Amino acid sequence: MKKINFSAGPAILPASVLTQAAAAVENLDGSGLSILEISHRSDAFDAVLVEAEQLVRELLNVGDEYGVLFLSGGASTQFFFTAMNLLNPEETAGYLDTGSWSAKAIKEAKNFGKVNIIASSKESNYDHIPRGYTVPDGLKYVHLTSNNTIFGTQFKEWPETDAPLVADMSSDIFSRRIPLEKFGIIYAGAQKNLGPAGATLVIVRKDLLGKVNRTLPSMLDYRVHIDGGSTYNTPPVYPIYVMMLTLRWIKAQGGLEGMEKHNERKAKLLYEEIDRNPKFRGTVADDFSRSQMNVTFVCTDEADTAAFQAAAEAAGCDGITGHRSVGGFRASIYNSMPYEGVETLVRVMREFE
């Protein structure tokens, strides 16, 4: 029995993508070479990069005023990369503190300029997305983490501000439609909704760059990577190839509109069962904050935890253990999770009841 991968990341990939990616390891498109051994300067990989960028632009409606980059280093590198490229020491950026990843981004940004924490849910263990806050004027940018994998929360509305938004979308990129014009930078590690670990997608508005006073090392300057077409240094070839395959798959599913409907349907099924079933309760404080990507819940009676874990694993549900800071369970139901996978978990919950 193939297991159903509910892991928070690296995470589930579409079955068709896995098949194509596996075949390319042996022989890329009949070239006689493995995707693992082709040059990043070859025509074959250039075609991969071109198609991957075209699909990003098509799916998110990204215009020429933005650069699209495929980098390494993960979202954690972007925590400082963004501030280093945008923020002067005398300037202030606004940050929304909604979880572990936003807290790390705040820590890194303080190395380069002033940070104003506009709103935070830290005092309640990040169990909700703050509302009712006011974004002050004069900020260089406003940073947020759109979906919080650990705590199971997600932004459903974007901050009202004239400042460009900078967003870590690692765990919900391409899961729904977004108003791209509000964003100055979007970055996302690939290993949730895009592909295997090792590549990072960055979408950056070009007119925001070149305005800091510090000297930027070449590898940490967005402009260098834009000019180099993501090949200033050797990029993560295989992860980018799998990203391209996944983007093709997303387009074939109806693009972001199709993904949005798919994800809403899955999340609705699971949350309704959590709310109905007396054996379980959700950990997020309100419906507005609930994530459609990472569903967190606990057993009403903590003594049931081990038994339910065993029942879920026996049914092939893998990776549902919650993060240690929340406990209980976390079902990550990213784009690639089929509806049937969520149905299996819900069936286990009902049988357990």
Task: Give the C-alpha separation, 228 to 222, whole Å.
Answer: 10
Q: Looking at residue 274, which CATH number applies to its domain?
A: 3.90.1150.10
- Whether 65 and 209 map to the same domain: the answer is yes
Q: Are 109 and 42 part of one and the same domain?
A: yes
Note the pLDDT of residue 325: 87
DSSP 169-218: -TTTTTSS---GGGEEEEEEETTTTTSSTT-EEEEEEGGGSS--SSPPPG
* Distance from the Cα of residue 145 to its chain's centroid: 9
pLDDT of 1: 53
- Relative to beta strand 142-145, strand 147-148 is unpaired
Are 227 and 322 contained in the same domain? no
Q: Which of 36, 7, 3 is nearest to 242 (CA)?
A: 36
- Number of structural domains in the chain: 2
Instruction: Give yes or no: 168 in active site.
Output: yes
| 76 in a structural domain | yes
Question: Are 231 and 283 contained in the same domain?
Answer: no
Domain contains 114 = yes
41 is in an annotated binding site: yes
Asked if the structure places residue 6 within a domain, the reply is: no
Q: pLDDT for 130-173, tens place per residue? A: 999 999 999 999 999 999 999 999 999 999 999 999 999 999 99
Residues 163, 304: one domain?
Answer: no
Q: Is residue 40 part of a domain?
A: yes
* In a shared domain, residues 75 and 193: yes
Instruction: Compute the distance between CA of residue 31 and CA of residue 18 in angstroms, rounded to an integer.
Output: 19
| Phi, psi (degrees; rounded to nearest 5) at 172 | -140, 15
> Does residue 10 lie within any of the structural domains?
no
Which of 149, 234, 150, 227 lies closest to 198 in space, CA to CA?
234
8 found inside a domain? no
Asked about 158 being catalytic, the answer comes back as: no
Cα pseudo-dihedral 8, 9, 14, 17, rounded to 10: 180
Q: Does 200 carry a binding-site annotation?
A: no
10 cis-preceded (ω within 30 degrees of 0):
yes
Judge whether 158 is annotated as a binding position: no
Same domain, 197 and 155: yes
Active site residue 192: yes
User: Is 77 within any annotated ligand binding site?
Assistant: no
Residue 20 marked as a ligand binder: no
Instruction: Give the residue among 165, 164, 178, 174 at the shortest CA–CA distance from 195.
Output: 174
In a domain, 3, yes or no: no
Given the residues 101, 127, 140, 266, select the one marked as catalytic. Answer: 101
Confidence at residue 2, expressed as pLDDT on a 0 to 100 scale: 80
Cβ-in-10-Å burial (0-12, 13-18, 19+) of 57 comes to middle
| Domain finish residue from 226, 252, 278 | 252
Among 97, 172, 192, 266, the one annotated catalytic: 192
Is residue 259 located within the same domain as residue 128? no
Catalytic residue among 97, 127, 140, 168: 168
Give the domain range for residue 120. Answer: 15-252
- Contact predicate 24/31, CB 8 Å: no
Q: What is the pTM of this model?
A: 0.97
Residue segments in the chain with a per-residue pLDDT below the cut of 70:
1
If asked whether residues 217 and 306 sit together in one domain, one would say: no
3-class SS at 70? strand
- Residue 4 falls within a domain, yes or no? no
Instruction: Using the 3D structure, point to which of 235, 252, 269 is the last residue of a domain.
Output: 252
Residues 296 and 243 in one domain: no
From 252, 267, 301, give the residue that closes a domain: 252
- Are 126 and 261 within one domain? no
Angle between helices 339-352 and 305-314 in degrees, nearest 10: 130
- 157 and 96, same structural domain? yes
- The answer to whether 280 and 298 are in contact (CB under 8 A) is yes
According to the annotation, is 191 in a ligand binding site? yes
Query: What CATH number did the domain enclosing 153 receive?
Result: 3.40.640.10
**Exposed e or buried b per residue across 27-49, where buried means at least 16 C-beta atoms within 10 angstroms of its C-beta:** ebeeeebebeebebeeebbeebb
Residue 233 counted as an annotated binding residue: yes
